[in-house]
A and B are shown apart, each in its own frame.
Chain A
Amino acid sequence: MPGESLSFIFLNAFLINNFVLALFLGICPFLGVSGKINTAWSMGLASAFVMLISSICAYFINEVLVAFNIEFLRLISYIAVIASAVQLVEMSMKKFSPVLFRQLGIFLPLITTNCAILGLALFQTFKEYDFTQSLSYSLGAGAGFTLAIVLMAGLREKLELAEVPSVSKGAALSLMLAGLLSLSFMGFAGLGGGH
């Protein structure tokens, strides 16, 4: 909605409506790449970076689509832009920072199917954010995604040491853990006047 302050938009995407734990976006990498804290950091930062870029692209594309009155092409153009943004990030990273590329390389293709990124582009369009608001929203969403995946990785590293019944090993226990994490994030719901 126009008129929301930048800090509220950031906090909203970061904590109150955390993309992973409250809106259920990006669950696949959240469960798949949260085994170790290091890789979780890398995945979080790579996603946050792609979120920022695709949010900026999506903003301008939407302007063009609205100008020509062809909004029904929104979904197709967004996903095409995200896929090419990921490709672009991958190529430029390979050229300018091979060290970072080697750390993030395997995660980059995965990001294309991360629905948090497409979700971000769609939500900022639905909420009719202007350019600076979109920037703030994408930064908050990226930070929130990174926070959630790193917290989860920390919990799972501790869990490795715990003795659990063999039935509950693996995905079942991870989901229970994610539920508890999500429950604790609901405590932030009161921030910002219960929006």
Chain B
Amino acid sequence: MSQNKTTAVTMDDFLSGIWRENPVFVMLLGMCPVLAVTNSVINALAMGLATTFVLLGSSAIISLLRHWIPKEVRIATYIVIIATFVTIIDYAIQAISLELYNALGAFIQLIVANCIILGRAEAHASRQPLLKTLTNGLGMGIGFTIALLALGSVRELLGNGSLLGHDIFGAHFEPWVVMILPPGGFFVLGAWLLLFNYIREVKKQKRLAESRAASGTTARALV
């Protein structure tokens, strides 16, 4: 983890969570909600936003209290703070849309056990000032939401032939039911990881070829 010693808020704090340290695709954290609730776009979006809210709220409180929390009981303290925010969002979603609440089920309450949030609290919020923590937390939350949407859209498109409830492929499309069932979650996430690995591999090859070409020209120049 890159720990900048400066207190200034940089663009890097925000962007690292979205791409370079994306919690789902790079760090493979918080897999349970990623796989469980992404059978449609709307569920994925709700889950992403709820997690972002808890992440921001808990990081803010932990960052403000970081000089007062004793080292020995810090994990327990973090968990209680996180659980408080999860309870808030749990009741909020129940009040806003009961349908959504039933679709997400116990997974809203299970945000407590999401290792992204505890990991952020331990690695970032407990050491950095408020504004820096919030920026980083927002980046992580957005990165998490993007990952959930990436899974949710593919699964809804293939498994149901629709996107956000609108029919895309028309009546002749035979849905791949397996995609909205549990195995589909594993398959789609695996496929996304394959794609990212492939992109990384191609970039690496390209860089290798470039450096080889560069060293080749210098060698020729020397001759």
Contacts and interface: CB of A to CB of B under 8 A. Distances in A.
B69 interface: no
A26 to B, nearest CB: 7
B147 interface: no
Contact of B83 (A21, A79, A114): A79
A96 interface: no
Nearest to B105: A126
Interface string B150-190: 00000000000000000000000000001001111111011
Q: How large is the interface on A (under 10, 10 to 19, 20 to 34, 35 or more residues)?
A: 35 or more
A66 interface: no
Contacts of A179: 183-187, 190
Contact of A178 (B112, B115, B186, B201): B186
A174 B35 CA distance: 14
Contacts of B189: 175
Contacts of B182: 21-24, 182, 186
Nearest to A125: B106
B193 interface: yes
B31 interface: yes
A112 B115 CA distance: 10
A184 to B, nearest CB: 9
A115 B32 CA distance: 8
Contact of A171 (B28, B75, B90, B185): B28
A119 interface: yes
Nearest to B80: A76
B113 A24 contact: no
A168 B201 CA distance: 11
Contact of B193 (A123, A172, A180): A172
Contacts of A100: none
Interface in A93-135: 112-115, 117-119, 122-123, 126
B190 A75 contact: no
Nearest to B194: A172
A31 B80 contact: no
A177 to B, nearest CB: 8
Most buried by B among A23, A113, A173: A113
A159 interface: no
Interface in B17-48: 28-32, 35-36
A53 interface: no
Interface in A76-99: 76, 79-80, 83
A43 interface: no
Given A80-B76, A123-B106, A179-B183, A72 B91 contact: yes
Interface in A169-194: 169-176, 178-180, 182-183, 186
A122 B90 CA distance: 13
Given A24-B31, A79-B79, A175-B190, 19 more contacts: A21-B182, A25-B36, A27-B35, A28-B30, A28-B31, A31-B28, A75-B86, A75-B90, A75-B112, A79-B112, A83-B75, A118-B112, A119-B113, A167-B201, A171-B28, A182-B182, A182-B186, A186-B181, A186-B182
14 contacts: A25-B36, A26-B32, A75-B86, A76-B87, A80-B79, A83-B76, A115-B32, A171-B28, A171-B190, A172-B191, A174-B190, A179-B184, A180-B183, A182-B182
Q: Which 6 A-B pairs have the closest CB atoms?
A: A179-B186, A175-B190, A24-B36, A115-B113, A172-B193, A27-B31
Interface of B: 28-32, 35-36, 75-76, 79-80, 83-84, 86-87, 90-91, 106, 109-110, 112-115, 118, 178, 181-187, 189-191, 193-194, 197-198, 201
